[in-house]
Amino acid sequence: MAEQLRLMAVHAHPDDESSKGAASAARYVAEGVDVLVATCTGGERGSVLNPKLDRPDVWENIAEIRRAEMDAARAILGVKQAWLGFVDSGLPEGDPLPPLSEGCFALEPLEVATAPLVRLMREFRPHVVTTYDENGGYPHPDHIMCHKVSVAAFDAAGDPERYPDLGEPWQPLKLYYNIGWSRARLVATHEAMLAAGLESPYTDWLKEWDKREDKGDRVTTRVECGEYFETRDDALRAHATQVDPDGAWFRVPLDLQRKVWPTEDFELVKSLVDSPVPESDLFAGVREAVRAA
């Protein structure tokens, strides 16, 4: 192919790239696709979820540590990575919820927050962009803002009248939302664990499952990437402050995961090429368009 295919994955915090779409990214890197992760914030207000690292010296240097973790995960996945430079909004808790901190990502005007991503899209020139749905995947303020910025930048990057000082216009061809855990995937994995005589880490989640959470019917694209689940998990463990290596994320054997649900799932929401659904490739229709060009 005369022009290398390019994929941009837009995420809210360092570690999100390793828990959402990481195995697909690693697969595409192995196939020669140029993959760039755009990270909106530095994750400065994230929790320390690994009890072994919940220490004062870690909290005092959390911003630097999270950058180093991102470097390690990026190298494991084989992707490129760029920071958009915004400040983590944190996840407010309580009733009523406390206000967000002044200057954080979620409170930036949309036109301002979109600009760095427009610049990056015009520099990197992605054919395909992935991000979160309108609920952010889950309702974290930064995830929701990441969704808004990604959709706005997808539309603005190719418009010469928008952000005229941020580089030559470039229009990505497809936009996807990550679809993480559908109820079908959760049930299939849970039942496979029980059938194998193993304790399922999803028992309580299934009991508390809210039907409104299920986005299984929105999936248009399933990318086979079971071969890269180990790479995904290694990248996630590189974010040592953000994940407990002995936690639920790693209790399901990889061979069982590959057998039960060997794909990562996406929803195609915008396409400027002919790409009938269902799909098995984020570049369906794009490959043909690039060859024709």
- Give the chain as a 3 state SS string: CCCCCEEEEEECCCCHHHHCCHHHHHHHHHCCCEEEEEEEECCCCCCCCCHHHCCHHHHHCHHHHHHHHHHHHHHHHCCEEEEEEECCCCCCCCCCCCCCCCCCHHHCCHHHHHHHHHHHHHHHCCCEEEECCCCCCCCCHHHHHHHHHHHHHHHHCCCCCCCCCCCCCCCCCEEEEEECCCHHHHHHHHHHHHHCCCCCCCHHHHHCCCHHHCCHHHCCEEEECHHHHHHHHHHHHHCCCCCCCCCHHHCCCHHHHHHHCCEEEEEEEEECCCCCCCECCCCCCHHHHHHHC
Lookup: tokens for 240 = 């040592």
Task: Tell me the binding residues.
Answer: 13, 16, 143
**Rg of the chain on CA atoms, in Å:** 19
The Cα 220–Cα 269 span in angstroms is 9
Task: Tell me the binding residues for Zn(2+).
Answer: 13, 16, 143
Amino acid at 28: Y
The Cα 246–Cα 249 span in angstroms is 8
The Cα 67–Cα 14 span in angstroms is 7
